[in-house]
Amino acid sequence: MYKLKKALPFITAAALSVALWTFFAMWIMNVYKVSYDLMTIMVGTIVVIVFAGSTTWESIRAYREWRKKK
């Protein structure tokens, strides 16, 4: 139980990162299927990339912290 508690920030950050990158892939597929205006496409893509990138960075940070404690 103690090891799970130590690894929980890494597990959470990794799961969130995977979920957001999956959302990004779904957004790109939806853009090709449905007609959106250019501003919506640009803003949506930038927002999803920023959030996915930041959660990926957070998962890397959590992994490094977890490895130090291990």
pTM: 0.66
Q: Give residue-wise pLDDT tens across range 4-48.
A: 777 787 888 888 888 888 888 888 888 888 888 888 888 888 988
Instruction: Give the domain ranges of the chain.
Output: 2-69
Q: d(Cα 25, Cα 9) in Å, to the nearest integer?
A: 24
DSSP class of residue 11 equals: H
Alpha-carbon separation of residue 1 from 6, 9, 13, 30, 70 (angstroms): 9, 14, 19, 41, 14
Q: d(Cα 39, Cα 1) in Å, to the nearest integer?
A: 48
Q: d(Cα 26, Cα 47) in Å, to the nearest integer?
A: 14
pLDDT at 35: 80
